[in-house]
Structure 1
């Protein structure tokens, strides 16, 4: 989140804080990777200000194993992607019974979902459970790159009322989008090519367009 007065989408923003939803007591250390955001470039101008010179960053990947919490240092290279216009649905189904209480996030075991390589996920917010909504997917396996096959077998569930989640109940739906991963320079080339194609399409069309 950005501190201060909200700014327009046309303005540059500097994010300095994140809202973190904890599911248990613990410590976050400086340098820990707590999440990833997708930054989409929008507008009708050339993308002259795309930050293609970003440097590799050193972060701590933090995950759980049978022996406890593991912190592993990792180098993360800047990259971008081009997303498919089409997606598939995957239903999130509870695989255990769990009592939930209003406002207290829970990790609920779900039927295992495979996320194929070069795929990103988005929640579909039109369907949720009567007692709350899932806010993230979770795996008890070490994190993997977007370019690798992944599996998830837990969901982070935020209750909006006291109640009970039973095995076999739907917690929500996610969209699976195929992506083509590339460098930020490649992303800029994709967007400039798209703007050229759109410009040609408008130039050849009869106005008005409906």
Structure 2
């Protein structure tokens, strides 16, 4: 850390720095609040997606108990063929967003396959989409969480370190300069009285 210079120039520089810190802090704190709100939204969205996945499992199990019959091949009915992930700017942070998703359905015979396969295909397609959304939602929460942590650290640096340090240094310099002025006045009076004594 640089040694503190007890001068009027140093006092002026510190005053300018302090003004800049105080001007910058509110906008930084606002960004922190916005990021916290966005992360909360992302967490709620992730929880909802996870709830939808759970509901989809339960619904499929309730609607299609016949899936327990392993003799009917259902493994390759749907296949994820394309996922396009874009980017969204949220409070200056780039987070992923699902742009496009393509799921192919393997052709199957309506005569040889059981009637419930149609419903299964719908459920499998839905589950696939939900799983992709869950991954993206989780990434958004993580990225926004890291950005929030970084901004919070900067807010704390300004609020708890830089601003108090600058205020303390300004106070020290002012006291020093005031003491120097007082000492100068005392010296001047003492010199004047000495001259008067010498003259008299």
Q: TM-score, normalised by structure 2?
A: 0.21
Structure having the larger proportion of residues in strand: 1
Q: Which has the larger radius of gyration?
A: 2
Q: TM-score, normalised by structure 1?
A: 0.21
Structure with larger RCO (C-alpha < 8 A, sep 6+): 2
